[in-house]
A and B are shown apart, each in its own frame.
Chain A
Amino acid sequence: MAAVLETVGLVKRFGGITAASDVSLQVEKGARHALIGPNGAGKTTVINLLTGMLRPTAGHILLDGKDITGVEPHERVHLGIARTFQINQLFADLNPIEAISLVVSERMGAGRQWWRLVGKKREIIDDIVGLIEQFHLADVMYDRTAILPYGKQRLLEIALAIACRPRVLLLDEPAAGVPEAERHEILATIEALPKDVTVLLIEHDMDIVFSFADRISVMVNGGLFVEGKPEEVARDPRVKAVYLGEAVDV
């Protein structure tokens, strides 16, 4: 299997702190890849580097073998990389219809068009309807995002990423803060994604990770620590040690 997304010796330093050190990660096409590790291990930094929100101190990022290290964040979206945020990043003043139609219009290349009214194209409407249904947002679709319940906001957060129709989806703790009852909705929608969409998931909930992932990378202190199939990682004594908080010799 070919790697769709690959990092080569990625380093990110914030002043004296090294948030990511020599991260060489390969995410295969169609993979359900989980990135786990203790708090502060550098998982979100990796996502920020992959999406271009942060510039690496050293190293390269390859998409389909092409170097995209210098590509602007919004251009990476058009190349097929989309992400969700650990802390919701939504448009408070827009309602779900407007927010989703914004993203769909943008993907269809209509975002620069000022002479046309929003949603005159049939395929845009169909796409919006599909996403509103898939993410159970129909009952709140006229309400401003700011007043939506947290669970709905979380669904919208993911819906906006899916609306980009990514080839590679980066999910930063999608279930964080979501009550148990609504968690299943979110997981079900992620699992319902087409198989050719590659997913890189950051998650702390091990039940989710092990039920979802077919490949797991463990990060500790900014570096990749262990990588392998779920059962291998589960058995690895070093991983257990990290998660139980014991010191290990690396």
Chain B
Amino acid sequence: MSQPLTEDIGGYVAGRARWHPLEIAFWIAALASIFLLPNKHLILTEIAVLALFALSLDLILGYSGIISLGHAAFFGFGGYVAGLLAKHEIVTEPVLALLVSGFAALVLGFVTSFLVLRGSDLTRLMVTLGVALVLREIANQIDWLTGGADGLQGIVMAPVLGLFPFDIAGHVAYVYCLIVLFAMFLLARRIVNSPFGLSLRSVKGNPLRASAVGISVNGRLVAIYTVAAGYAGIAGALLTQTTQFVSLDVFSLERSADVLLALVIGGTGYLYGGIVGSILFKLMQDYIANLTPQYWQFWIGLVLVIIVLVGRERMANWSAPLRALLARLGPRAAHGVRTARPSPAARPSAADGP
């Protein structure tokens, strides 16, 4: 066994998870936004919540190929749990309540994960959409608990960690959301760079071969769907906690569609797509709404059509040339230079004929 090759491969494998300078710059910029943009904290909070939600969707769409049009089911569930915990003073401390809400969504994710195991993309779209609709209607019907169509009112949030009360300008809320986003991002980064994360990409790339090398395809899909649901639940809980209100709108199709749009704009499968996409999406929404308050949906719709026409894969991969350039400039750290289109030779084909 040749020594240089061992060093090359060992170095490459170890370097896959190394932090790229751009990543560090990105998080420093995020930190700087706390101090440099104090009057933008309200929209930045919205962006952070959407970013965490989109990160959650990236875990299932970008890393395991499960497409969902009902991811708001978990977002909304986490949101309502957080609202109820605070309103009825069951768990008052926000961070703890956040974890409980995330766990509740995680359990819901586990239970419903079995529904997305079978079938094609279309089946999954419909099943996930259906689950979100069902939850919305349940929340609507049990109005003694949820407030029904009026939303859950009278939520008063305790100070974060008992020390930092939420303020009207949203400074505490933004710092809180940013820290949660960063912590959840670190965890997600760890997950996708683990052997488990690599196996997810194999399941996405070629489930037939994945099972032929000993990977339980269904087991992995259940696991990541469950984790992603927990992520979405935490995002929803953050929304409730920072706005001190939750309504049926958290389950809406629009919310599921928005997060998918944000993720697609940013690009799937490299974790930053959801965050970058959320920034672009929210800024675009904000900018257009200021220009034409009545017709902003027209422009959002137009952008949506363009994205679809250009093609999800090309769109999702708009940053590939940039990443390729970075890979060439930087050390071997940029592990993810890949186009989304598999070649015919390596595409999973139908099972071999008899």
Q: What's the minimum C-beta distance from A40 to chain B, rounded to whole angstroms?
A: 7
Q: Which residues of A contact B162 (CB under 8 A)?
A: none
With contact pairs A106-B213, A147-B343 given, residues A93 and B338 touching in the complex (Cβ less than 8 Å): yes
Q: Which residues of B contact A105 (CB under 8 A)?
A: 195, 198-199
Is B14 among interface residues, defined by CB-CB distance under 8 A? yes
Q: What's the minimum C-beta distance from B210 to chain A, rounded to whole angstroms?
A: 8
A82 CA to B353 CA in the complex, in Å?
A: 19
Q: Which residues of B contact A113 (CB under 8 A)?
A: 194-196
CB within 8 Å of B: which A126-142 residues:
126, 128-130, 132-133, 138, 141-142
Flag the segment in B38-46, B137-145, B200-208 that touches A.
B200-208
Q: What's the minimum C-beta distance from B37 to chain A, rounded to whole angstroms?
A: 34
With both beta carbons as reference points, the residue of chain B lying nearest to A157 in the complex is identified as: B209
**Interface magnitude class on chain B:** 35 or more
With both beta carbons as reference points, the residue of chain B lying nearest to A86 in the complex is identified as: B352
Is B217 among interface residues, defined by CB-CB distance under 8 A? yes
A172 touches B352 (CB 8 A): yes
Q: Which residues of A contact B194 (CB under 8 A)?
A: 113-118
A97 CA to B13 CA in the complex, in Å?
A: 8
Q: Which residues of A contact B190 (CB under 8 A)?
A: 114-115, 117
Q: Which residues of A contact B217 (CB under 8 A)?
A: 74
CB within 8 Å of A: which B197-228 residues:
197-199, 201-202, 205-206, 208-217, 219, 223
CB within 8 Å of A: which B275-323 residues:
none
B216 touches A72 (CB 8 A): yes
A21 CA to B215 CA in the complex, in Å?
A: 30
Is B351 among interface residues, defined by CB-CB distance under 8 A? yes
Count A-side interface residues using an 8 Å CB cutoff: 74
Interface string of A100-119 (1 = CB under 8 A from B): 01110111001111111111
With both beta carbons as reference points, the residue of chain A lying nearest to B348 in the complex is identified as: A89
With both beta carbons as reference points, the residue of chain B lying nearest to A130 in the complex is identified as: B1
Interface string of B182-200 (1 = CB under 8 A from A): 0000000011011111110
Q: Which residues of B contact A212 (CB under 8 A)?
A: none
A153 touches B346 (CB 8 A): yes
Q: Which residues of B contact A82 (CB under 8 A)?
A: 212-213
B209 touches A97 (CB 8 A): no
With both beta carbons as reference points, the residue of chain B lying nearest to A53 in the complex is identified as: B351
Q: What's the minimum C-beta distance from B219 to chain A, rounded to whole angstroms?
A: 8
B202 touches A92 (CB 8 A): no
Is A23 among interface residues, defined by CB-CB distance under 8 A? no
A118 CA to B6 CA in the complex, in Å?
A: 15
With contact pairs A129-B5, A172-B352 given, residues A92 and B216 touching in the complex (Cβ less than 8 Å): no
A102 CA to B340 CA in the complex, in Å?
A: 20
Is B120 among interface residues, defined by CB-CB distance under 8 A? no
Is A178 among interface residues, defined by CB-CB distance under 8 A? no
Is A225 among interface residues, defined by CB-CB distance under 8 A? no
Is A14 among interface residues, defined by CB-CB distance under 8 A? yes
With contact pairs A48-B352, A92-B342 given, residues A118 and B13 touching in the complex (Cβ less than 8 Å): yes
With both beta carbons as reference points, the residue of chain B lying nearest to A77 in the complex is identified as: B214
A89 touches B212 (CB 8 A): yes
Q: What's the minimum C-beta distance from B10 to chain A, rounded to whole angstroms?
A: 5
Is A42 among interface residues, defined by CB-CB distance under 8 A? yes
B346 touches A88 (CB 8 A): yes
A119 touches B211 (CB 8 A): no
Interface string of B317-354 (1 = CB under 8 A from A): 00000000000000010000011111101111101111
B212 touches A118 (CB 8 A): no
A120 CA to B190 CA in the complex, in Å?
A: 13
Q: Which residues of B contact A125 (CB under 8 A)?
A: 6, 9-10, 13
Q: Which residues of A contact B213 (CB under 8 A)?
A: 77, 82, 102-103, 106, 160-161, 163-164
With contact pairs A90-B206, A111-B196, A153-B345 given, residues A101 and B212 touching in the complex (Cβ less than 8 Å): no
Q: Which residues of B contact A99 (CB under 8 A)?
A: 202
Q: What's the minimum C-beta distance from B256 to chain A, rounded to whole angstroms?
A: 26
Q: What's the minimum C-beta distance from B40 to chain A, rounded to whole angstroms?
A: 35
A74 touches B211 (CB 8 A): yes
B354 touches A114 (CB 8 A): no
| Chain A residues within CB distance 8 Å of chain B | 12, 14, 17, 19-20, 40, 42, 44-45, 47-48, 51, 53-54, 72-75, 77-78, 82-83, 85-94, 97-99, 101-103, 105-107, 110-120, 125-126, 128-130, 132-133, 138, 141-142, 144-147, 150, 153, 160-161, 163-164, 172, 222
| Chain B residues within CB distance 8 Å of chain A | 1-2, 5-6, 9-10, 12-14, 16-17, 190-191, 193-199, 201-202, 205-206, 208-217, 219, 223, 332, 338-343, 345-349, 351-354
State the 7 A-B residue pairs at the shortest beta-carbon distance, nearest first.
A92-B342, A77-B214, A119-B13, A19-B354, A146-B343, A105-B195, A92-B346
